């Protein structure tokens, strides 16, 4: 008779942020995770599986924090008995004092990462030996980025017969604390500016390169689809509208897969490198003092900038934000993160109008109004100078390895393809049906008179409506007949209004799923009011300024 397969052992990997837990799990299994995470931190628990072992990589624990990720990690810790406790060699005393009480009564090992940062000596080896003798628990020092076969075997063998962690801990101080060397990001005068430039750089390069590639591919794709469009033109009218109408699946498909997907992929690679190198955490610390008066933290701004790639993973990644600022951060993403659709379409409109320089005042005004908006809606506690940043320490900068970059990139791409694209396709069908019924044109007719509030002609109504459904709808501003009647100020005002009036439906549905439908509806109402006020200020203030000069 065939023998039954051995029972798979489940081990929970627990530690603080940026201690090398994910690198360790990947090195122990040689596998990629079977569940997803989001750039900037492990948002969901990732599972790395082999035939005999399953390692659950939990989000980094932030002490004195109420983030959803910390609660998730603690819940996994309570649900399982076999633990791989990961502490950082450079900050042994702090990590052991904070983490050892959490695993009391569980079974497992202690893995000491970043051992390569500690000068090897007889003294350091004696310290590790003293810990093992005192607590009767195995301590294994490693460099998680370069786990040797011997260390891997030692860890796996130790997990076969795990030792209980004592109920009472009295940590013996290691006596050392090793801090990474400061960089320009820690400069008191220029650090914040450099951090902002480093955050914006991936978005600018990703959009520029991806749009250049898409500009070459789009004519080829359109030519290849021409025979299919001719065949589908014979379909019944409703099916024709859904497939090849103005908002049909075949019509809008190239915009998604030729224009948006390359931008998201490039942006995800950039952020993957930022995360794998430790740069994200450095940027978080550098930006925090600048943002606290607006009710945000450096951690929040990283998520807002992520939205320039895709709002969906950016909103989900706010699980790593404090509950004090999370809803403000979500609102800032919905208002000010010009996703790949919106930013690409905006550049397209400015280029079609032969006014590419408009991108500078556009981004400047978008940034300014986003900060004002978040300052107005942020709770008082989030703006308090006593609201300290919940991050453990300044991290070491490392040269990122491709395997680590790709692991981080896969997380963002997974969220984009499993969340954003399905919703995009559903919305495309809905927009096609509404257009077939004539409701979009009718709605545009109803709001045509309101365009005068923003100094815009009636032709601006349709782009504004469609951009509220899907941000690429503002591309209709680039139609020659529309551009012919718009001044540069009207183009700037129209694109701004269309971009911030409402979050697109994909973002709105994600926010409702992450928070609640009530919160999503309230957010859209607040955003619409703020967008109308800021757009009127831009239109009439710009007109007055233009007249006076």
Q: Which helix (H) or strand (E) holds 202?
A: helix 191-232
Q: Which residue has the higher pLDDT, 413 or 64?
A: 413
Exposure class string for 369-391: b at 16+ Cβ within 10 A, else e: bbbebbeebbeeebbeeebebbb
Rounded to 10 degrees, the C-alpha dihedral 138/141/147/151 comes to: -40
Q: How far is it, in rounded angstroms, from Cα 34 to Cα 50?
A: 11
Tokens linked to 511: 């926010």
First-last CA distance in the chain: 92
d(CA 460, CA 92): 61
Instruction: Tell which residue, 445, 454, 435, has the closest CA to residue 501.
Output: 454
pLDDT in tens, 59-76: 777 655 556 666 676 777
CA distance 214 to 216: 5
In the numeric block, the tokens 């051992």 are attached to 115
Query: What pLDDT is recorded for position 126?
Result: 82
Q: Over 80: is that where the pLDDT of 405 sits? A: yes
Q: What pLDDT, on a 0 to 100 scale, did the predictor assign at position 393?
A: 62
pLDDT band with cut points at 50, 70 and 90 for residue 37: very low
Residue 352 pLDDT more than 50?
yes
Average pLDDT of the segment spanning 382-400? 65
Distance CA 71, CA 447 (A): 46
Provide mean pLDDT across the span 452-471: 82
Question: At CA 160, angle to CA 138 and CA 30, rounded to 5?
Answer: 95
| CA distances (Å), origin 158, targets 49, 99, 108, 287, 395 | 17, 20, 8, 42, 29
Which pLDDT belongs to residue 1?
42
* Distance of alpha carbon 459 from alpha carbon 491, whole angstroms: 12
Mean pLDDT of the chain: 80
| Whole-angstrom distance, CA of residue 161 vs CA of residue 184 | 47
Contacts of 486 (CB under 8 A, 6+ apart): 353, 456, 457, 459, 460, 477, 494
DSSP-assigned letter for residue 16:
B
SS (H, E, C) 35-77: CCCECCECCCCEEEECCCEEEEECCCECCCCCCHHHHHHHHHH
Alpha-carbon span 21 to 99, nearest angstrom = 14
Q: What is the pLDDT of residue 29?
A: 87
The answer to whether residues 11 and 131 touch, using CB atoms and an 8 Å cutoff, is no
What topology does CATH give the domain 9-164? Rossmann fold (3.40.50)
Query: How big is the CA angle at 245 (ends 241 and 247), to the nearest 5 degrees?
Result: 110
pLDDT at 3: 45
In this prediction the pTM is 0.68
Mean pLDDT across the stretch 289-313? 75
d(CA 113, CA 145): 9
Nearest to 57 by CA among 34, 39, 89: 34
Instruction: Supply the pLDDT for residue 370.
Output: 92
What is the C-alpha to C-alpha distance for residues 251 and 262, in angstroms, rounded to an integer? Answer: 18
Provide the pLDDT confidence category of residue 22 given band limits of 50, 70 and 90.
confident
Flag the least confident range among 73-87, 395-409, 414-428.
414-428
Cβ-contact 59, 126 below 8 angstroms:
no
Phi, psi (deg, nearest 5) at residue 393 = -170, 170
Q: What distance separates the 2 farthest-apart alpha carbons in the chain?
A: 93
HEC profile of 361-381: HHHHHHHHHHHHHHHHHCCHH
Inter-CA distances, 218 with 244, 248, 298, Å: 16, 17, 38
Flag whether pLDDT at 42 surpasses 50.
no
Please answer whether residues 148 and 28 qualify as being in contact, where contact means their C-beta atoms are separated by less than 8 angstroms: no
> How many Cα atoms within 13 Å fall on the side-chain side of residue 388?
8
For residue 154, the model assigns a pLDDT of: 92
Of the listed ranges 406-410, 448-452, 506-510, the least confidently predicted one is 406-410
pLDDT score of 475:
72
pLDDT tens digit string along 304-341? Answer: 776 766 787 788 878 777 767 788 889 989 998 877 66
Domain positions in the chain are 9-164, 186-381+401-548
Looking at residue 4, its pLDDT comes to 41
For Cα atoms 432, 231, 261, give the angle at the middle one, nearest 5 degrees: 55
**Token reading at 502:** 């409402």
What does the pLDDT read at residue 369?
Answer: 94
Band of the pLDDT at 490, cuts 50, 70, 90?
very high
| Mean pLDDT (whole number) for 357-373 | 89
Per the structure block, which two tokens stand in for 389?
Answer: 């940043």
pLDDT band with cut points at 50, 70 and 90 for residue 537: very high
3-state secondary structure string, 103-147?
HCCCEEEEEEECHHHCCCCHHHHHHHHHHHHHHCCCEEECCHHHC
């Amino acid at each position: 008779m065939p023998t039954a397969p051995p029972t798979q052992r489940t081990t929970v990997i627990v530690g603080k942020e940026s201690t090398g837990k994910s690198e360790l799990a990947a090195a122990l299994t040689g596998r990629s995770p079977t569940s997803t995470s989001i750039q900037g931190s492990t948002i969901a628990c990732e599972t790395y599986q082999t035939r005999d072992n399953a390692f659950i990589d939990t989000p980094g624990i932030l002490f004195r924090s109420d983030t959803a990720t910390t609660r998730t990690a603690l819940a996994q810790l309570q649900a399982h008995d076999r633990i791989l406790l990961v502490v950082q060699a450079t900050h042994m005393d702090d990590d052991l004092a904070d983490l050892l009480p959490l695993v009391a009564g569980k079974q497992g090992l202690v893995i000491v990462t970043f051992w390569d940062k500690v000068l090897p000596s007889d003294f350091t080896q004696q310290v590790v030996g003293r810990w093992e003798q005192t607590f009767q628990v195995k301590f294994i020092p490693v460099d998680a980025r370069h786990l040797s076969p011997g260390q891997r075997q030692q860890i796996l063998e130790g997990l076969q017969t795990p030792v209980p962690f004592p109920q009472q801990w009295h940590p013996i101080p290691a006596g050392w604390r090793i801090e990474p060397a400061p960089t320009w990001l820690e400069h008191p005068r220029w650090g914040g500016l450099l951090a902002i430039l480093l955050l914006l750089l991936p978005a600018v390069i990703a959009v520029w390169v991806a749009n250049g590639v898409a500009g070459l591919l789009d004519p080829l794709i359109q030519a290849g689809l021409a025979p299919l469009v001719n065949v589908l033109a014979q379909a019944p009218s409703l099916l024709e509208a859904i497939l090849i109408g103005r908002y049909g699946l075949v019509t809008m498909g190239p915009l998604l897969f030729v224009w948006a997907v390359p931008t998201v992929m490039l942006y995800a690679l950039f952020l993957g490198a930022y995360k794998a190198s430790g740069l994200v955490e450095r940027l978080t610390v550098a930006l925090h003092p600048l943002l606290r008066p607006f009710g945000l933290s450096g951690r929040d701004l990283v998520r807002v900038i992520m939205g320039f790639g895709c709002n969906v993973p950016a909103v989900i990644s706010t699980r790593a934000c404090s509950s004090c600022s999370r809803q403000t951060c979500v609102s800032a993403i919905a208002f000010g993160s010009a996703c790949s659709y919106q930013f690409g379409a905006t550049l397209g409109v400015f280029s079609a109008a032969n006014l590419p320089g408009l991108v500078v005042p556009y981004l400047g005004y978008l940034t300014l109004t986003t900060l004002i908006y978040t300052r107005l809606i942020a709770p008082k506690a989030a703006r308090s100078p006593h609201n300290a940043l919940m991050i453990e320490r300044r991290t070491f900068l490392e040269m990122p390895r491709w395997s680590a970059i790709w692991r981080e990139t896969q997380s963002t791409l997974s969220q984009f393809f499993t969340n954003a694209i399905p919703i995009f396709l559903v919305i495309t069908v809905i927009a096609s049906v509404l257009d077939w019924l004539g409701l979009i044109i009718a709605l545009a007719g109803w709001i045509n008179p309101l365009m005068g509030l923003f100094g815009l002609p009636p032709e601006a109504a349709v782009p504004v409506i469609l951009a509220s459904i899907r941000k690429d709808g503002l591309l209709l501003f680039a139609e020659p007949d529309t551009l012919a009647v718009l001044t540069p100020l009207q183009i700037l005002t129209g694109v701004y209004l269309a971009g911030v009036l409402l979050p697109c439906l994909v973002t709105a549905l994600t926010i409702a799923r992450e928070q609640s439908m009530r919160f999503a509806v309230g957010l859209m109402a607040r955003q619409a009011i703020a967008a109308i006020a800021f757009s009127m200020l831009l239109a009439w203030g710009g007109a007055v300024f233009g007249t006076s000069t």
